[in-house]
């Protein structure tokens, strides 16, 4: 299941690149959340899935939805709309496993913390060095302060959202939980969508992106992520997430002609090694 999740997740940045020439980011996401929630409701009615119990569970689901849907997707799609390449966006957000692992290491007292911390700091350095190699030549061009800030919002949203969901949510049906998250994200993105003046251009690429976003990324990818975190397999997902940036970079190069120079490949490799060092469990 973790491998299937990573394969699906890798397409998210490519789909954003496919759709953004034809739609405003928050207008697209608002419609995506509405359609996703509607699909989940139909699924719930057909199978008779049970809704979460307790208002605090609903509250925690809504907060997780704001972070992992509205903040994460809003940041990524707005950054891509502002000119950030799909491969670069995936690489920046790909630091999520690093931040998660460092937070968990500092939060849990265990034997051998000092050696683990040293290895993780080395991984953190390599990860940022790799990103620096990829990004520095693009500063002022593809990478701007605005889209870099949006990508940072996405990075913080997915990182804090994953930790929050693991900490506060109790096991419940993934379909009803996802519906609550989609509705919460919808109401956050709707006011932002109303501020956008660009109309939706229903180009075939936009229709394909919407269908893939709702049917595969939300109903498939987001549901798998929720299940994996709920079942305690967040570490397995985190360990595989460092494969997303190189996969996305290759897809973006093949589909959109985004640059893939030797220097960029070295930077991606350094980042992958750095993240792997951070998330690797210490040997006993």
pLDDT one-digit tens code per residue, 169-209 = 877 888 899 899 999 999 999 999 999 999 999 999 999 99
Look at residue 211 in the predicted model and tell me its pLDDT. 95
pTM metric for this prediction: 0.82
Token pair recorded at residue 52:
């979460």
Cα–Cα distance, 75 to 70 (Å, whole number): 8
- Calculate mean pLDDT across residues 259-272: 78
H-run or E-run covering 51: none
Greater confidence (153 vs 241) lies with 153
Residues 6+ apart with CB under 8 A from 64: 161, 164, 165, 168, 169, 181
Domain ranges in the chain? Answer: 2-279
Residues 6+ apart with CB under 8 A from 138: 85, 88
Cα–Cα distance, 101 to 107 (Å, whole number): 10
Which whole-number Å values give the CA distances from 4 to 10, 176, 220, 275, in the listed order? 10, 22, 9, 20
pLDDT in tens, 97-147: 777 766 766 665 444 444 446 776 787 777 777 777 776 666 656 788 899
pLDDT in tens, 43-91: 899 989 899 888 899 999 999 999 999 999 999 999 999 988 887 888 7
| Three-state secondary structure call for residue 283 | coil
Residues 6+ apart with CB under 8 A from 261: none
Cα–Cα distance, 21 to 259 (Å, whole number): 18
Degrees to nearest 5, angle at CA 98 with 94 and 100: 105
Nearest to 205, CA basis, from 150, 256, 258, 257: 256
Residues 6+ apart with CB under 8 A from 51: 44, 173, 176
What confidence tier does 279 reach under pLDDT thresholds 50, 70, 90? low
CB-side neighbour CA atoms (13 Å) of 227: 14
pLDDT in tens, 133-172: 776 666 656 788 899 899 999 999 988 998 888 888 877 8
Please return the burial class of 55, using the count of CB atoms within 10 Å of its CB with bins 0-12, 13-18 and 19+.
exposed
Token pair recorded at residue 180:
């609550």
Look at residue 2 in the predicted model and tell me its pLDDT. 66
Instruction: Quickly tell me which residue has 């419940």 as its tokens.
Output: 172
């Amino acid at each position: 299941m973790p491998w299937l999740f990573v394969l699906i997740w890798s397409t998210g940045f490519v789909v954003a690149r496919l759709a953004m020439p034809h739609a405003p980011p928050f207008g697209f996401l608002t419609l995506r959340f509405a359609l996703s929630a509607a699909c989940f409701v139909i699924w719930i009615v057909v199978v008779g899935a049970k809704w979460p119990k307790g208002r605090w569970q609903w509250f925690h689901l809504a907060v997780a939805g704001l972070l992992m849907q509205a903040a994460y997707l809003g940041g990524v799609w707005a950054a891509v709309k502002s000119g950030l390449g799909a491969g670069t966006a995936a690489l920046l957000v790909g630091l999520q496993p690093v931040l998660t692992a460092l937070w968990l290491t500092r939060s849990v007292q265990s034997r051998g913390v000092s050696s683990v911390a040293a290895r993780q700091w080395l991984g953190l350095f390599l990860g940022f060095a790799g990103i620096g190699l990829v990004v520095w030549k693009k500063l002022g061009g593809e990478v701007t302060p605005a889209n870099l800030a949006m990508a940072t919002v996405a990075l913080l949203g997915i990182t804090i959202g994953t930790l929050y969901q693991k900490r506060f949510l109790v096991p419940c049906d993934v379909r009803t939980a996802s519906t609550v998250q989609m509705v919460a994200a919808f109401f956050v993105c709707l006011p932002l969508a109303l501020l956008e003046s660009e109309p939706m251009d229903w180009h075939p690429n936009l229709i394909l992106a919407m269908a893939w976003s709702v049917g595969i990324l939300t109903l498939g990818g987001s549901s798998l992520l929720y299940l994996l975190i709920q079942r305690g397999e967040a570490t397995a997902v985190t360990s595989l997430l460092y494969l997303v940036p190189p996969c996305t970079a290759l897809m973006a190069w093949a589909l959109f002609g985004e640059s893939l120079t030797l220097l960029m490949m070295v930077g991606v490799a350094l980042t992958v090694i750095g993240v792997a060092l951070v998330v690797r469990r210490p040997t006993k």
